Structure 1
Amino acid sequence: MREEGKSIDEAINIAGETRFLPVVLTSITAICGLIPIAMNPNPQIAPLAIVLIGGLISSTILSRIVTPVMYKLIPPQMDEKI
């Protein structure tokens, strides 16, 4: 979008709206698949599933916040076409 001439703020907003739903749906699918494993009484398997669920939740939230902030702080250099 930056190559199309959009400002950095506009590109971040459009990309955030476009990519939000696929990221959330993928995370929810994985979390729903891990819930039965997390509820398993086996003490070797359940903690791993709980940690994975926590990681998926935190990475989903952070990807919505950290990625746009880092993109704005360190924008990629636009190559000038000759």
Structure 2
Amino acid sequence: MTERTAVVWVHRNTSTCSACRRDALYDDSHHYTVPGGPTGRPSEQGCGARFEAIGSARIEIGANRLAQLRPNLPIRKYVPR
């Protein structure tokens, strides 16, 4: 069985899993939870994909900031579909 992998995309106030396109916590190793709800607590279970890279489509979130957030992950350039 092949492990599902994903890129965690960092936005201004949230982050997203590339595998299922739902909200994610950028500091999780895998997409375990979908953050949300009025208290900010996890509201659902994530898809379980392992985050293999981090990236952002926002120009103000540069490579230095991404490296600070997740120094253990390579940085992936955003390419629109």
The normalised TM-score by structure 1 is 0.20
Q: Which has the higher strand share?
A: 2
Structure (1 or 2) with the larger CA radius of gyration: 1
Q: Whose helix proportion is higher, 1 or 2? A: 1
